[in-house]
Copies of this chain bind each other. A is one copy, B any other.
């Protein structure tokens, strides 16, 4: 690999001048610029990014922590983030936190040790205090799908509560009254918020929430399956179920079919997230759209603007969900009493 030194020798100028034309940050006479460029071409010179990083104290790398690398959800997130940074000549280092406090911390430390210029974090298990302390350190970061007091300007969140409201409201406005709710783990902020939204919709329609119509699942297929089973047992007369994410909706659908129900005739189901396989399901799932791709892009813009000083418009920090109507909801056979 040719170095900047060889370029300077071939072009007959100093190291500094070569560096200048490469980064064109200082005026250089056109003639000398051409000489340098020619030498660069001739030698097939590419700057060594490691040396650049050491000298400039910029690694041009952004660390990302997500819960899982597989799964439909993070795929679209990572895809949009990678594209945004690639265009800016930055690269992305990815680590999985697995929704586990210890692993999330390790991931963050790992990324710090890699001298990332910034971090984009989708962490669930780590405490607010930890994040507040982290904010005092030197690596800036954005939080995805999480709101922490005092860090509001770096939180890119979904209005989860409104999402929960939309799901249940959709069902109510289709005539359902006995609505089961399969939640995510309630220690997760988004699960809690979605449930609050559900309660708000219920209240608005003067429907009393009932404990037996609530099931706390795990955000996975199994939890959805088990949840529907439990709900049906608790109240065989339910006409609809909202699942706090699409994977649980998939499990619920399987479970409902095993119970001999026809969908959506006997039971309507609404999901949450609108992951990319939700329309592969049968019936195609009516769900709440989580614009995770846009949110990832916004997080990238935050970094580009605040860390790399790009001039960009203001950052949108709160995103609104919307209902995606497909085929998993029908009016109930008889209006529940």
- Check B49 against A78 for contact (C-beta < 8 Å): no
Interface assignment of A209: CB less than 8 Å from any CB of chain B: no
Which B residues touch A112, using CB under 8 A? 46
The tally of residues in A whose CB lies under 8 Å from a CB in B reads 45
Which B residues touch A47, using CB under 8 A? 113
Stretch binding the partner chain, chosen from A24-32, A90-98, A177-185: A90-98
Stretch binding the partner chain, chosen from A34-42, A69-77, A151-159: A69-77
Shortest distance between the CB of A110 and any CB in chain B (Å): 7
Which one of B94, B110, B113 lies within 8 Å of A94 (CB-CB)?
A: B94
Given A49-B115, A50-B53, A79-B68, do A92 and B91 touch, yes or no (CB 8 Å)? no
The CA of A76 and the CA of B281, in the complex, are separated in Å by 20
Interface assignment of A83: CB less than 8 Å from any CB of chain B: yes
Interface assignment of A51: CB less than 8 Å from any CB of chain B: yes
Interface assignment of A59: CB less than 8 Å from any CB of chain B: yes
The CA of A234 and the CA of B94, in the complex, are separated in Å by 47
Which B residues touch A308, using CB under 8 A? none
Shortest distance between the CB of A44 and any CB in chain B (Å): 11
Interface assignment of A5: CB less than 8 Å from any CB of chain B: no
- Check A110 against B95 for contact (C-beta < 8 Å): no
- Check B91 against A110 for contact (C-beta < 8 Å): yes
The CA of A114 and the CA of B93, in the complex, are separated in Å by 12
- Check B46 against A50 for contact (C-beta < 8 Å): no
Interface assignment of A334: CB less than 8 Å from any CB of chain B: no
- Check A70 against B76 for contact (C-beta < 8 Å): yes
Question: Other than the known A69-B82, A91-B110, A92-B94, what 18 A-B pairs have Cβ atoms closer than 8 Å?
Answer: A49-B115, A50-B54, A54-B54, A68-B79, A69-B78, A70-B76, A70-B276, A72-B277, A74-B75, A75-B75, A79-B96, A82-B96, A83-B96, A86-B95, A221-B280, A250-B280, A257-B282, A280-B280
20 contacts between A and B (CB under 8 A): A46-B113, A48-B54, A48-B115, A50-B54, A68-B79, A69-B75, A69-B78, A70-B72, A70-B276, A71-B75, A72-B75, A72-B277, A78-B94, A82-B96, A86-B95, A86-B96, A91-B114, A92-B93, A93-B93, A253-B282
Q: Write the residues of chain A forming the contact surface with B, with a CB cutoff of 8 angstroms.
A: 1, 46-51, 53-54, 59, 61, 68-72, 74-76, 78-79, 82-83, 86, 91-96, 110, 112-115, 138, 221, 250, 253, 257, 276-277, 280-282
